[in-house]
Structure 1
């Protein structure tokens, strides 16, 4: 392997979303130094994607932060369906979004959900072509490929499990589902430990169906069924990178990043437990935990090599 850097290379991780701005939510940081923003973007009927961002108002050198300024413009000037109606709502485009994870502990259990992030959002002019979509193009370090099963039955698709290296040497686990057309290729060619580039569609579909149950007397009964589909569907991909390629991720670097991730999660869980302990205290704070931390161990099943 040619990659011998201490810090793992950040993967190509590009999300493109184009749609109608459905809703804008934002909160100021408690210390007043920054802004969180959350946008709902509608790309089709019953399909809305939530994109998040956060930024300090000032850079470390004291100059104005263009990202935060852009967020402020969205909050003050952009029109959403929620506030202005569908006819007046802005069409928006994101070309440099990223896939991430929202992770937290609750009652000792790790919750982990895919999360879309962006620094910049462009508002389309009236004369610009509008092409609603939600797509990804991502590099992945393969952990394994497994048959997708629904209620114990194989669907003909496969799950592509692996790790996406992020900024500053961090990695996140992620699962893509591969279309039936590409499943056989992925099973045959995407081996454990390979670096691959895949692309496809982000699906977040929600619909309510109302059926009527006829009554022999009185009013008919209406039954509401919710149908939800959330997945990152791979529709295409490239051949795995050669092991000697400078773009192939080094397994040792991945292993180091996974160890650091486990330490981070362990600390997160401890902090969550401390919060719970403080809530249970009759008065004052909880007693300090002076027990030495156990060394982090990663099972062979979690290693992509």
Structure 2
């Protein structure tokens, strides 16, 4: 008899290397416990800055001051930043997962907005941010490596025209022992832009499969200047600033075999999504009643967006009788078929 599967957290790591631009870390009570939390901005290039979230309670299970807490205090008090000390004096740092040690990961900051809608945007978090020694090789970068359950894919369009890039939509399975069902699994969008990779994903990846993908984390600002003719005098310069946040896949594995121990069970994924929906509705109700708990963290940033969590992403297409997992072909999925 085969062992019964359980839903387990998948591979989810990041590698960020750059110069500390700014640190915003403070100590304050959280849920009645002393804690330290905040953000570290890491500059990979002048145009690419990544914000990493950090957190630790002060006391560990042994009722001793946590080593992680001490580390974050050191970062706050001793690390030098570009904003304060200048780029020549700022610390070079690295976030990486080494062996079985779990450090940085891709996540989501999700919350109920003032309008009562569920909002969601990507975030990066880490336990440690290590200084790079002067004799170490310094290679600025921001990369991800993770497993996901595929929800579908669609051609990217801009102004009604296809860009040639592909949007791959999936679910990331998070730590399952936490109490908040809304955080145990969450949707995430990726971009595939290399034409060969686009063809491979379209021809090979199907809804419901498990894959591992890796690529580049993009967080940059694009400044566009243009001259606008006016009634008289010199043309007026107009400046447009656009922030781009993308997770660009540069490679991935073939879909895992169904009997692979790391392949997600679609039944368990569905169950986790249903529990997530219930948790989200509860948070909305709490917000509506003015009783939002501490788990409903207010987010920020222009890239948050409203999502509809209720639809089943693995359900057979409405216009087809058969199960989409059985036809052996990639699915052409519209936004209406997906929960995000």
Q: Same fold (TM over 0.5)?
A: yes
SS in 1 for 2:220: strand
| C-alpha distance in 2 between matches for 1:231 and 1:69 | 33
Correspondences of 1:112-261 after superposition (within 5 Å): 112-168=120-176, 170-179=184-193, 180-213=195-228, 221-261=236-276
Q: Distance in 2 between matches of 1:114 and 1:2?
A: 37
Per-residue CA distance 1:203-249 (angstroms, 9 max, x = gap): 01103344455778667633211132211000100111000111101
Contact 2:185 2:276 in 1 (8 A): yes
Summarize the Cα distance change of 1:155–1:210 in structure 2 as closer, same or farther, 3 Å threshold.
Answer: closer
Shift of 1:264: 1.3
Q: In the comparison of the two structures, how many residue pairs are matched?
A: 285
Q: TM-score, normalised by structure 2?
A: 0.78
Q: What is the TM-score normalised by the length of structure 1?
A: 0.87
Q: For the structure 1 residues 217 and 276, does the alpha-carbon distance in structure 2 shift closer, same or farther, using more than 3 Å as the test?
A: farther
Query: C-alpha distance in 2, partners of 1:190/1:9?
Result: 21
Partner of 1:286: none
Report whether the alignment pairs 1:63 with 2:64: yes
Secondary structure of the corresponding residue to residue 268 of structure 2: helix
**106, 126, 131: which is aligned to 1:99?**
106
1:272 counterpart residue number: 287
**Residue 33 of structure 2 contacts residue 57 of structure 2 at CA under 8 Å; is this kept in 1?**
no
Q: Flag the structure with higher helix content.
A: 1
Task: Please list every run of 5 or more consecutive structure 1 residues that lacks an aligned counterpart in the other structure.
Answer: 278-296
Q: What's the CA shift for 1:23?
A: 0.3
DSSP-derived class of the 1:138 partner: strand
CA distance in structure 1 between the aligned counterparts of 2:48 and 2:313, rounded to whole angstroms: 35
Matched, 1:50 2:51: yes
What is the CA deviation profile of residues 167-191 of structure 1, one whole-angstrom value per residue up to 9, with x for unaligned ones?
Answer: 0161111111112330110111111
SS at match of 2:290: helix
